[in-house]
Amino acid sequence: MSDPTISVAGLSFAYPDGTPALHDIDLHIHPGERIALLGPNGAGKTTLILHMNGIYLPQAGTVRVSGLELTRDTVMEIRRRVGIVFQDPDDQLFMPTVREDVAFGPQNLGLEGATLEARVQSALDAVEVADLADRPPNHLSFGQKRRVAIAGVLAMEPEILVFDEPTSNLDPATRRELTGVLHGLDITQLIVTHDLPYALELCERSVIIDGGRIVTDGPTRRILGDESLLRAHRLQLPYGFDSSLVD
């Protein structure tokens, strides 16, 4: 198997008040994988992904991205390599137009002129929002804003995309459109979600975290077919959902 894009080993973390959040986490994510990170509220999902691009630094253990260990000295390069798309796109959109928003990150890397324009256009095309380039982000629908937020992260050419609850607040049609977008992205993805059917639809592999520990890691279909496992970790498929309906 290829070397991991992200390698987490023995990661532990507690908040300043002493509340433990992560306990001895081991996780490998390999190039091209699309993995669902599942777990109840308060399980440690957000704390884990915030370690992956250096918002938190490890108190014990290590986080490596393509072999580069996360430290205070490497945090800026780690943040370039790992792009996080947050649950609320308004947290990431702040420029007057969509084009300027998507260009903001690459401009800060020093890109300009035709190189910058090509980078921005490629990101807009990847999520099918090129027609919105001159629109103000605050005039867009929630689903359009989410795509633009993804484009802004893609424009940085990260090695892995991390999505925090990408289907929240989306209607069924917009959810289906987003599925097509994520399927079309040729990049390693980690998807944090409570939407178990969405995990099954997008991800061959899933990881359950609970109480700050990884409790299982394996094929999504097997994990979601284990009712006792889901129940033990406060996860539940929608009533009447038949996992065999998803190819």
Within a domain: 247: no
What is the structure's pLDDT at 247? 46
Within a domain: 222: yes
What is the structure's pLDDT at 131? 96
Interval 51-59 mean pLDDT: 94
What is the structure's pLDDT at 243? 59
Structure tokens at 238: 């929608």
When divided into structural domains, the chain yields a total of 1
Q: Is the pLDDT of residue 37 over 80?
A: yes
Within a domain: 226: yes
Q: What is the pLDDT of residues 131-178, one digit of tens each?
A: 999 999 999 999 999 999 999 999 999 999 999 999 988 888 989 989
Within a domain: 210: yes
Q: Are 96 and 102 in contact (CB under 8 A)?
A: no
> Mean pLDDT over all residues of the chain?
93
Within a domain: 242: no
Q: What is the pLDDT of residues 80-121, one digit of tens each?
A: 999 999 999 988 899 999 999 999 999 998 999 999 999 999
Domain coverage including residue 195? 6-234
Residue 60: which residues within 8 A CB-CB, separation 6 or more?
10, 11, 12, 13
Within a domain: 135: yes
Cα–Cα distance, 138 to 118 (Å, whole number): 24
Domain of residue 19, CATH code: 3.40.50.300
Within a domain: 1: no
For residue 204, what pLDDT band results from cuts at 50, 70 and 90? very high
Q: Is the pLDDT of residue 187 over 80?
A: yes
Within a domain: 246: no
DSSP the chain: -PPPSEEEEEEEEE-TTS-EEEEEEEEEE-TT-EEEEE--TTSSHHHHHHHHTTSS--SEEEEEETTEEP-TTTHHHHHHHEEEE-SSGGGT--SSSHHHHHHHHHHHTT--HHHHHHHHHHHHHHTT-GGGTTS-GGGS-HHHHHHHHHHHHHTT--SEEEEESTTTT--HHHHHHHHHHHHH--SEEEEE-S-HHHHHHH-SEEEEEETTEEEEEEEHHHHHT-HHHHHHTT--PPTT--GGG--
